[in-house]
Amino acid sequence: MTRIQTLLALFALLSPALGAHAAPYLPASGTQVIETLPRRGDPVQQELRRLRAQLNAQPNDVALATTLARRYIALGRSETDPRYLGYAQAALAPWWKQAAPPPPVRLLRATLLQSTHQFPAALADLQGVLAVEPQNAQAWLTLATVQTVQGDYANATSSCARLSSLANELITVTCVAQVGGITGRALQSEQLLALTLERSGTTTPELQVWVLTLLAEMAQRRDAVTLAETRFQRALALDPHDSYLLGAYCDFLLDQKRPSRVEALLADQTRIDALLLRRALALQQQGKTAPLAADVAELAARFDAAMLRGDTVHQREQARFELLRRDTARALTLARKNWAVQKEPADMRIYLEAALQARDREAAQPVIDWIAKHKTEDAAAAKLVRQLGESA
């Protein structure tokens, strides 16, 4: 998952029944906690039940359906629980298959579609919304998001520019900076975004976390380690449970060879596949073979389940997993497939790492050419490109 996208996978629970390719998961003992369900007394859950009951009575009420869907999407992000995205789609069921549903529904459908990398369908919905509502700031931001992920930087920049009169300065600059940060204007984009954040005054914690995480990653890509650490810590102070932030910070820590910190951070976060993967990488760095074997077995079962469902959203993470267990050919295949869909710095890096481990510089040429064409500045990627040249 990526901060540029702020994406969420649109799937129900990982099925415990993994068919012929993996055995059902069995808890070690009757005391092991498998899932913590939301408490019925939780005010958020009570409000959701109230809205669901209203929608059941009035299933064609667009305002009510979109309100409930937004609540589910927000909760899915905060809890990193993809079930809520399924609930959001269910709330929109009366309009889901319509070619041109009402703009609020269509925008939510685009949000959910891009979560599962159905980018052409999401783009069509976003363009449809903007044809009717050209002043819709959320639609322009989501469009810029999808265009950036796909590497359509010129159109992403144009979409960001449309936000200047529709959204606050921090959102607009963040949109532009995330494009500039990977297209030859890294330092200038980072400096402008940092300045805009500092002078933005009071803003929502969610927006601050998004911006600080992006700034931390920008500093990390140019090897400004101390600055990156400071920004990650500022973001964590605002939201220590943000799953993307935790993953990004753990990647930074793994690069800095601080695996014990990763293990401590993720002790109670292993229900999230991407975070379980990072804990496994931390265990590998520390040579903890027994717990590593358990995490590898669990990850293998989860990725097998995803493949049985036809889920291709997590190919980047799965490529990293295959490198962890030294299946370089499989890792390179997955990295190549992932690159065909999305082109963020992390996608570049896993492709280069897989090609290096496979000793196949020719396979990495599309990414090497992409980096040169767009003048992408990334110290880790540059090092991998040098190593690939040396290996050749």
pLDDT of 257 reads 98
pLDDT of 115 reads 84
Report, as an integer, the average pLDDT of 223-241: 97
Residue 80 pLDDT exceeds 80: no
CB 266 within 8 A of CB 246: yes
pLDDT of 308 reads 85
In angstroms, the CA 231 to CA 217 distance is 9
Sequence ranges of the domains in the chain: 312-392
In angstroms, the CA 330 to CA 250 distance is 24
| Distance between first and last Cα of the chain | 32
Label residue 137 by pLDDT band (50, 70, 90).
very high
CA angle at residue 143 from 134 to 205, to 5 degrees?
100
Residue 96 pLDDT exceeds 60: yes
3-state helix, strand, coil in the chain (%, to 5): 70, 0, 30
Average pLDDT, the chain: 89
What are the tens digits of pLDDT across the range 33-55? 444 445 556 788 899 999 999 99
In angstroms, the CA 36 to CA 28 distance is 17
What are the tens digits of pLDDT across the range 327-360? 999 999 999 999 999 999 999 999 999 999 999 9
pTM to 2 decimals? 0.86
Helix (DSSP H) and strand (DSSP E) numbers for the chain: 20, 0
Report, as an integer, the average pLDDT of 166-190: 96
| Nearest residue to 91 via CA among 111, 106, 70 | 70
Count of C-beta atoms within a 10 Å radius of residue 282:
25
pLDDT of 82 reads 73
Residue 1 pLDDT exceeds 70: no
Q: How many residues does the chain have?
A: 392
| Cβ neighbours of residue 72 closer than 8 Å, sequence gap 6 or more | 48, 84, 85, 87, 88, 91
In angstroms, the CA 234 to CA 228 distance is 10
